[in-house]
Structure 1
Amino acid sequence: MKINTSYLLRSLLYLSVFALVFNSCKAKKEETKEASPFDEADKIVKSIKVLEFPNNTFNILDYGAVADGETNNSEAIKKAITMCNEAGGGKVIIPSGKFLTGPIHLKSNVNLHLEAGAEVLFSKNHKDYLPVVHTSYEGQELMNYSPLIYAYKQNNIAVTGKGTFNGQASNTNWWPWCGAERYGRLEGMLHQRDEHNLPRLWEMAENNTPVSERIFGEGHQLRPLFIQPFECENVLIQGVTFTNAPFWVIHPIKCNYVRVEGVTVNSHGPNNDGCDPEYSKNVHINNCTFNTGDDCIAIKSGRNNDGRRVNIPSENIVVENCNMKDGHGGVVMGSEISAGVRNVYVRNCKMNSPELDRAIRIKTNTLRGGFVENVYVKNIEVGQVKEAVLKINLFYAIYGPQEGDFMPSVKNIHLQDINVENGGKYGVLIKGRPQSFVKNVTLTNVHIKNAETPLSVENSEPITFKNTTINGKEY
Structure 2
Amino acid sequence: MENLSNKAVTRRNWLGAIGKVSLGTGLVALTSNAVGFEHKQVKSTGNDIGARIYNIRDFGAKGDGKTLDTAAIQSAIDTCNKEQGGTVLVPAGIFVIGTVELKSNVTLHIATQGKLLGSADGKQYHASAAIPLDGGWTMGDGNVGLIFAANAENITIEGNGTIDGQGAQFRSDTKGVLPPAGITGNHRPYHLLFYQCKNLTVRDISLINSAYHSVRVCMCSYVKLEGLYIRGKVIHNNDGFHFIGSTYVHVSNCDVQCQDDACALFGSCKFVTVSDCSFSTRWSVFRFGGGEAENIAVSNCLIYETYGCPIKMRCSPGSRFENISFSNLVMRDVTGPISIGLGNVQSSSENGKMATPGIIRNISFNNIHATVVKPVPLRDSEFASKYNPGEEFSCVVLNGVDKGFLEHISFDDVHITFPGGGTAEQAAVRDVPKVAGEYYQIGVPPAYGMYARNVRGLTLHNVRFTMASPDLRPALILDNTDDVAINGFSAQGQKSAESLLRFINSRDVLVSGMRLLTPVTNLLQAEGKECNNIKIDGGDISKAGKALVLASGALAQAVRIKD
- Common fold by TM > 0.5: yes
Preserved contact between residue 411 and residue 439 of structure 1 (Cα < 8 Å): yes
Alignment of 1:239-388 (within 5 A): 239-268=204-233, 269-301=235-267, 313-334=268-289, 337=290, 339-353=291-305, 355-366=306-317, 369-386=318-335, 388=336
Q: Deviations over 1:307-340 (max 9, x none)?
A: xxxxxx2100000000012241222212xx2x22
Partners of 2:228 and 2:167 lie apart in 1 by: 19
| Percent identity between the two aligned chains | 26
Are residue 464 (structure 1) and residue 453 (structure 2) matched?
A: no
Partners of 2:292 and 2:144 lie apart in 1 by: 27
In structure 2, which of residues 154, 157, 166 is the aligned counterpart of residue 156 of structure 1? 154
- Give the residue type in structure 1 aligned to 2:201: L
Q: Which has the higher contact order (CA 8 A, sep 6+)?
A: 1
Alignment of 1:381-420 (within 5 A): 381-386=330-335, 388-395=336-343, 405-406=354-355, 407-420=357-370
Preserved contact between residue 405 and residue 455 of structure 2 (Cα < 8 Å): yes
Which blocks of at least 5 consecutive residues in structure 2 are unaligned? 1-48, 375-392, 421-447, 467-489, 492-513, 516-563
Are residue 124 (structure 1) and residue 109 (structure 2) matched?
A: no
What's the CA shift for 1:221?
5.5
Are residue 185 (structure 1) and residue 174 (structure 2) matched?
A: yes
TM-score, normalised with respect to structure 2: 0.61
Q: RMSD of aligned C-alpha atoms?
A: 2.6
Partners of 1:392 and 1:96 lie apart in 2 by: 47
Partners of 1:393 and 1:442 lie apart in 2 by: 15
Q: Deviations over 1:373-412 (max 9, x none)?
A: 11101111111212x221112359xxxxx98653322111
Q: Deviations over 1:317-373 (max 9, x none)?
A: 000000012241222212xx2x221111000000111x432221102444xx41211
Partners of 1:457 and 1:56 lie apart in 2 by: 59
1:131–1:329 Cα change, 3 Å: closer
Determine which structure has more spread, i.e. the larger CA radius of gyration: 2
What's the CA shift for 1:190?
7.1
Whose helix fraction is larger, Structure 1's or Structure 2's?
Answer: 1
What's the CA shift for 1:435?
1.7
What's the CA shift for 1:143?
10
1:218–1:331 Cα change, 3 Å: closer
Q: Give the match for residue 224 of structure 1.
A: 189
Preserved contact between residue 231 and residue 255 of structure 1 (Cα < 8 Å): yes
Preserved contact between residue 131 and residue 195 of structure 2 (Cα < 8 Å): yes
What's the CA shift for 1:237?
0.6
Preserved contact between residue 133 and residue 144 of structure 1 (Cα < 8 Å): no
Preserved contact between residue 437 and residue 461 of structure 1 (Cα < 8 Å): yes
Partners of 2:279 and 2:127 lie apart in 1 by: 36
Preserved contact between residue 274 and residue 290 of structure 1 (Cα < 8 Å): yes
Q: Give the match for residue 429 of structure 1.
A: 397
Structure 1 SS opposite 2:190: coil
What's the CA shift for 1:110?
0.6
1:263–1:429 Cα change, 3 Å: same
Are residue 105 (structure 1) and residue 101 (structure 2) matched?
A: yes
Q: Deviations over 1:424-475 (max 9, x none)?
A: 6434112211221111110011111225410122222252011111115258
1:252–1:169 Cα change, 3 Å: same
In structure 1, which of residues 440, 447, 450 is the aligned counterpart of residue 415 of structure 2? 447
What's the CA shift for 1:142?
6.1
Structure 1: which 4+ aligned runs deviate by more than 4 Å? 142-145, 217-221, 402-405
1:390–1:285 Cα change, 3 Å: same
1:220–1:444 Cα change, 3 Å: closer
Partners of 1:415 and 1:363 lie apart in 2 by: 17
What's the CA shift for 1:134?
3.5
What's the CA shift for 1:54?
4.1
Preserved contact between residue 284 and residue 318 of structure 1 (Cα < 8 Å): yes
Partners of 1:219 and 1:225 lie apart in 2 by: 12
Deviates more, 1:463-472 or 1:220-229: 220-229
What's the CA shift for 1:168?
1.1
Q: Give the match for residue 60 of structure 1.
A: 56
